[in-house]
Structure 1
Amino acid sequence: MAKPNNKTKNNRNESGLNFEAQLLYADKMRGHMDASEYKHVCLGLTFLKYISDTFEEKREQLLFGFSDPKSEWFIKDEAQRAEAAENRDEYLAANVFWLPPEARWHTIKAKAKSPKIGKVIDDAMGAIERAVYGQESNYTTWKLARMNLAIRGIDANLGPRNADSFRQDLHPNLKAEFVPVRKDPSNQPFNMSDWGGENLRQDVRWKFEMPPVNNANYAWIQHFIHHLSPVGVAVN
């Protein structure tokens, strides 16, 4: 009797999926793209899958409540239930990213073998892009950021000039749904000792307490909070 091919067996899980073959296929898809660039494609898809899963979970919760005759949110008509489950406000109230149908994972998955899958993914990412607001104190970085956003067709407002976020907030009335925060607080602009705090003692952004003048950490945290909408979240 021939001995089993242990190598083949070890490369498959209980469901029969050959992970090595799948990884090789993923590498083939990368083509001539540098690995440092390909990671951004993977991260984009991972982000899309995550927000899609979160959206679908919330949608299922809504449909369950709308379908339960004992629920105070019960809706008898099935078409009206489906329509109610698409209400953006329901998702915003739960801090869930609302996704249009073309950006939902099941839509992308259904077209995975299509020769136009690249365009499908691009359209999905484009459908969830929102206007970007921000500012940058360094003039060169500010110019490069504007060019990069313009090249990618992303609607952006980085202010009419470069400026320091503390000393000259270019978007004082901005209330955003998402505010990005750096993961590593040891990086600038955190832990700044010379951030000009002595000149900003009466700033409207300090809602909780006056931040210390020798460390910008609490000032940045309150800056983020100040620019969040009532249903906004800070993400990293």
Structure 2
Amino acid sequence: MNKMPKEAFWNAVYKMRSNSISLSKYKHVVLGLIFLKHASDTFMAHSKTSKLIIKKTQNNEKYTTNNLVWIPKESHWSNIIQQAHHPEIGQTIDDAMVGIERRNITIRGALPKIYTGLDRFMLGQLVNLLNGVDTTKIQFSTLPRVYEYFLSIFAETEGVRGDEFYTPCSVVRLMVEMIRPSYGKIYDPCCGSASMLIQAGEFIQRHANKKDKEQICIFGQELVETTWALAKMNLAMHKIKGRIELGDGLYSDQHQCLQADFILTSPPLNITSYKGEILQDDKRWIYGIPPLVDVTFAWIQHIAYHLAPDGIAGVILPNSTMSLNTFGRGNIRKNIINDGLLHCIVSLPGQLFYSTPIPACMWLFSKKHNTKNVLFIDARSMGRMKDRTHRILDNIPQIATTYDAWCNHGYKDIIGFCKSVSIDKISLQDYMLEPWRYVGEINPNDKLHMRLDLPITKYSERQCKSNMIRETR
């Protein structure tokens, strides 16, 4: 039997949405059911083959076994199926969620309990559809892949609001491949649905040794409660332990003492001003007080403050951060550059994000490779159009291996693409950071030659094939 196209599976779920429920709420209805089925199926399969470890404490029981979610009997998926067409199916699902939270402290308060009162025919159809899902016959390896795919489609469908809970997959992969998290503490201060933390965790599983894998600690914070819940479920589905806190990382930092080895983050691109007057004397502003009209310079210094002495960080920012000088922006940027913190700037193509077609950029900070040079990469012309409005960045290996070569050995400047520039020369440009200022221009007739000259290693060739497979799932 041929595998069901992922688009067909999404269409089947989307068509079941009742007119009485908004798309933003339907997202939580669907993703909650996917989580429930996956957690139940995984628990039942594991309980048949392994001995579950039960640890009793004075106040409650904690169940641990390879980061699995413990599913009490009343929350088993089989009970949901039996009640699929019962008038009280919504209450049955809510009760199942409550039962799971009662036994699993790490996801307590995160599961959606919104099913009571919803259209019972819609819920019954969704339950039956998911019950018939054989993940070996869909273009996904596991239900967590379904969860991630649906997150991306909901983000794309919701448009401007999409970037609030989901960073496009190709952007996340680029950041992960460049900073290469492999040990210690991983942190995302505005984690959304935890897509960056998930991909960082998967990278670690592929590349880190056993000892480093066991010592990895995941930290995150998210402002929006419903998105925080999505993040908690996402980590649980991928069997990744993490401390994801609820709240605004700038005003109510829940990880004040954290010194992270790797930081990956993408603050919302459509939010600019903030109530910075209450943070004027904050200890995080080591490079200058952020302007009240631009929250991005607060996030930049928040990241620098939480970076360990040998830490590496990547952050997605608006292009304006590379050049605006007003309201003290230029001085903050100058201080960061002169301190040797800034390591690399990548200008990204437009139409990567759901909230805006405007291009963004990636800043990489490194306390591990503190140098007197900055690498500039101009990737504005890279990628391919997924449809008329959205672009996918599929040149990740070329960019990542260029940065890796610059950090280690074998790097060469490529006109029109990359340039290593001294801080002294950056100062002559008034500390402006747009890569086009430094990489130079090439003859349009040489563009193909330039692309073929990009450093392609065996590693990057493997990644090219891997990326193509992931995008076509």
Q: Tell me the TM-score normalized by structure 1.
A: 0.46
- Of Structure 1 and Structure 2, the greater strand share is in 2
Q: Tell me the TM-score normalized by structure 2.
A: 0.24
| Greater relative contact order, per chain length (Cα 8 Å cut-off, separation 6+) | 1
